[in-house]
Amino acid sequence: MRHLPYFCRGEVVKGFGRGSKELGIPTANFSEQVVESFPPDISTGIYYGWACVGNGDVHKMVLSIGWNPFYRNTKKSVETHIIHTFKEDFYGEILSIVIVGYIRPEKNFDSLEALISAIQEDIEEAKRQLDLPEHLKLKEDNFFHLPEGKIGNN
């Protein structure tokens, strides 16, 4: 994973509407333009790292990059689950993320329950990894201090 940590920023757009409603695990989705700007050799799969909406607080997150085989997506997506409860949606806000580490490849599941269980395990793994000192230091990175009008990737 030579691209890690990977720093990315973009506007939050409406996704498939499954995260909150079907899975009970809300996600913030990047636009196709941001997804296409990811280095092609970042593997699909599940990652962990840090996320910040606008100039808000920095929170732990777990991230899916890929086609979500369970749903047979035809477009690659990048979906961030921020491990925090927000009072309201934040479509149109700028989401800044730092991808710190890799958990597992994406895979298909036999049932919705198996998918939800795997995501819950991914969340717990992300929490454990992000408590390590080498990962905690990235929570304070200046990248999360959003300059006015700044959008894009590095």
Catalytic residue numbers, as ranges: 79
The answer to whether 90 touches 137, Cβ cutoff 8 Å, is: no
The answer to whether 81 touches 123, Cβ cutoff 8 Å, is: yes
Residue 46's DSSP bridge partners are: 64, 104
Strand residue runs (E) in 31-143 = 45-53, 58-66, 77-82, 94-104
